[in-house]
Amino acid sequence: MRFALSEDQVFLQQTTAEVAAHLFADSAVRSAASDGGALRADAWKKLTELDLVGMLVPEDQGGAGGSVTDACVVAEVLGRFIAPVPYVATAIATASLLRLAGGPAESLADLAGGTAYAPLLDARLDIPVAEATIAFDWTRGAWGVALGADGRAAVHALAEDAVVDDIDPLHPLRRVRPVPTGAPDSEAARRCRAIAWTGTAAFLTGLADGALRQAVDYAGQREQYGQPIGSFQAVQHLCSDMLVDVETARSVTYGASWAVEHAPIDEAERLAASAKAYAGPASLRVCETGIQVLGGIGVTQEHEAHLRLRSAHLHDSAFGGTDAPLALLARRAIENG
């Protein structure tokens, strides 16, 4: 047993962070909320060039042939920088579905080449049982991907309706004309769901990690009553609780990232469900506490903290919120109890 990133993964983490720091400066992220998708498009191009978009696509189909852990390393870093790109939606959830649930091979290669694909969900952002109505983390012109009634991933041209971006302008939803789907019952479909949960948990962990770093920086600098606010025990304890949330969300997420590829399906699901159900609320707590530490500035549009919190909410809701993974965990426990 070894629970640690490999040297290659640490390198991947560092280079992704360098790229992200360049692409997603705080001010760039703030303007991305209203730039009509310009940063999103530029950044996606760059991430495609770096082979990060095709991380889960096999090398012989034009991808990087990486592991889910590799993809989670990237997703976490992107979360830290509140990156307005559909990495979880496209590079993790959709790529897995196309690859593991027998989707068209040319779409997979196309995805690795930077073409926009969005996973199709129901109105509660859960994985649909019979009908999808939302393209999640939608990009203009994106194809939609969902499991068909035959249990195979199918690609759909989308008849688009309203854009819903008032919760998280960095990750728009698009209503689409209903697409009939199959339920995620096969082992392949269940593994895809587990991978989507895990990738989302990684992004949520990164969002939280960024909030923690920012809070600690700010608390070390901002002075009130003649001393840095970070020297007050009340602020210290807020930050410590954030740290516990971040590190423990990270632990379960990376554990799940290994399990979804290597463990039997029941164990894979148990860990992925735990990661999703834990990282969502943990990330919300951390982003909220981060705003509390920042004080007034944190609730304005002059700071990106609200965008971070918005992204945390959207991703907490995605792929069945906490309800779906918690129900899975509870039912498994009851079966084995």
Partner 1 sequence: MDLRDSPDEARFRGRLRSWLADNLPSEPEPATLSERWPYMLAFQRKMYRGGWIALSYPEEVGGQGLGLMEEAILGEELGRANAPTMIPLGHLGRPLLSHGTAEQRRRYLPPLLASEEIWCQGFSEPQAGSDLAALRTRAVLDGDEWVLSGQKVWTSYGAFADYCLLLARTDPKAVRHRGISAFVVPLRTAGITVRPIVLANGDEEFAEIHLDDVRIPAENLLGKPTDGWRIAMDVVSYERGAVDVGYLAKFDRYLTELAGLVRASGREPDRSTLQTLGEAAAGLEVLRMHCLRSLSERVEGGSPGAESSIDKLLMTRVEQTLMSAGLELLDDVTTPDRSEWFDRYLYGRAGSIYGGSAQIQRNILAQRVLALPRGPRA
CA distances from 225 to 229, 231, 232 (A): 8, 11, 10
- Select the span of 17-25, 44-52, 96-104, 227-235 touching partner 1 (CB under 8 A): 227-235
- Name the residue nearer to a second copy (CB basis): 4 or 234: 234
Least Cα distance to 307 among 8, 122, 5, 31 occurs for 31
Q: Which does 227 bind (CB under 5 to 8 A by kind): partner 1, a second copy, none?
A: partner 1
Closer residue to partner 1 (CB): 57 or 279? 279
Least distance between partner 1 and beta carbon 131 (Å)? 14
What's the one-letter identity of residue 2?
Answer: R
Residue 135's DSSP bridge partners are 120, 174
Pick from partner 1, a second copy, none: which does 150 bind, CB < 5 to 8 A by kind?
Answer: none
Pick the piece of the chain touching a second copy (CB under 8 A) from 19-27, 231-239, 259-267, 320-328: 231-239
Nearer to a second copy, 234 or 334 (CB): 234
In the complex with partner 1, the residue whose CB is nearer, 152 or 306, is 306
* 152 counts as binding partner 1 under rule CB under 8 A: no
Q: Which does 30 bind (CB under 5 to 8 A by kind): partner 1, a second copy, none?
A: none
**Partner whose binding site includes residue 207, from partner 1, a second copy, none (CB under 5 to 8 Å by kind):** none
In the complex, what is the shortest distance from the CB of residue 253 to partner 1, in angstroms, rounded to a whole number? 8
With binding defined as CB under 8 A, does residue 1 bind a second copy? no
**Beta 117-121 vs 143-147: how paired, if at all?**
parallel
Site membership for partner 1, residue 31 (CB under 8 A): no
C-alpha 264/C-alpha 279 separation (Å) is 22
Contact indicator for 249, 205 with CB cutoff of 8 Å: yes
Nearest to 25 by CA among 42, 48, 8: 42
DSSP state string for 183-216: -S-SHHHHHHHHHHHHHHHHHHHHHHHHHHHHHH
Binding of a second copy at residue 251 (CB under 8 A)?
A: no
Q: Which segment (207-215, 230-238, 268-276, 289-297) binds a second copy by CB under 8 A? A: 230-238
Residues 180-209 that bind partner 1 (CB under 8 A): none
Q: Which pair of structure tokens corresponds to residue 281?
A: 């609320």
Q: What is the DSSP string of 65-84?
A: ---HHHHHHHHHHHHHTT--
Q: Does 237 bind a second copy (CB under 8 A)?
A: yes
Q: Pinpoint the alpha helices (H) of 81-122.
A: 95-100, 105-112
